[in-house]
Amino acid sequence: MTVDTQTVEFKKNTVFVLFGASGDLAKKETFPALFGLFSEGVMDPSTKIFCYARSNLTVQQLRDNCAQYCRPSTTGNDKAKMDQFFKMVTYVQGNYDTDVGFIKLRGEIEAFEKERGVTEPHRIFYLAIPPPIFLTVASHLKNNVYAENGITRLIVEKPFGDDLETSRELQRGFKPLFKEEEIFKIDHFLGKDDLKRLLAVRFANPFLGATWNKEYIEQIEVWFKEPFGAEGRGGYFDPVGIIRDVMQNHLLQILTIATMEEPVAYEAEAIRDAKVQLLKCMETLGPKNVVATGQYTNSLDGKLPSYLDDDTVLDKNSKCLTFTEITMDIKNERWAGVPIVMRAGKSLDEDRVEIRMKYKKNTHGMFPGVTPNMFVIQFHPERKIYMTFNTTAPGFVDNLHQVSLDMAYSKKYAKDWVPEAYERLIRDAFLGNRANYVRDDELDVSWAIFTPLLQYLEGPNAPAPEIYPYGSTGPKGILE
């Protein structure tokens, strides 16, 4: 087994503050990621974790809340490791809109640093809180808990605005408080091991790179399918919709890394420069790019509810999109003329997130018209990379058929610790590595691409979303 611990790179006595510690995100993602880093020997045990929220909680209650979401360690002995981990955790109750709680938090942080003899504080603040209070908390944080004589890093969860203008407003609000290099804007898809591996697959294999262009690729497809709806999350999802939820961020990140030019170096800014350059070649989206929109209704057997039946969806006339299919174009020498299809939907027939590079048909030679090859990166339900090849089956008859050469993580790395997205991203924040975080200019360009589309689909001339049954393949006519 190979585990890259790199604990030597972690600064001793780092303070990690989790705002919104009582919320769902903290319970299901942040705490399990922190425990994963600790249990695998990645997090330095001198780290101190301060949890901050309005609720009156104990550390034991925090442990009880998140324990079921923490995955087993590759080396076992999880009970003892969890005991050790929660000895590193302290809980501070306080409001987000007054200084009182932040002053109390500062006192506890400074007491810890004094006890450990820290002269250059290293403080990481994680905002697992609703976007409307980002700037309120950031302001109180800067005034009361900022590491004046050390290092401060601020991790901000998406969404980063609702469109281009609100995204810029958020950026303007953060600007007088923190330097850009201190802000880590998190899109958890960027932390997935598959995207990191895609960089190596693309740029470390010349034979593949030689065909990664319009001369060989017929079409690019990005698919996001969830077999469940917005149950219990309607209050969040209804004003957001499927485009803001996954397409403008997660799926665009996948597409960008799959299609960008090779960065000039394997380092953070070079990778992010290459992403921005690619995004600048994408056309602005509008009415002509819309293939289908939809909203799910009850399942055909009536057992599963419609979107509007959800108690947390307050507007019973909501036109919120739970399915969208669009086409996109990249106007550069590599991809001009290659159609790109992006589809995302909830309450569909399966769980699948992937990008497919569909190769052109063979039109001449010994085997004209054979089934085209495909190169696929799959994120769900299983992590794997595979490519389809044409060959003949054993026997006397030349029975041409297609097989997959695949690398499934569950087989290839069965005994290895494969970091989850939040584990990788939080580790990067500890180390100051911003390669897998979103830069301001990238946000600007991505919102500029999608904002006209959102304005059309949410405007007076928007097409009515097609109703499709819960558990189906989506609106009529959607083909893979």
Spatial strand order in the sheet of 151-157: 89-93, 48-53, 15-19, 122-127, 151-157, 183-186
Nearest CA to 410 out of 444, 454, 380, 436 is that of 380
401 as an active site residue: the answer is no
Of 122, 250, 364, 380, catalytic: 250
Give the residue numbers marked as catalytic.
250
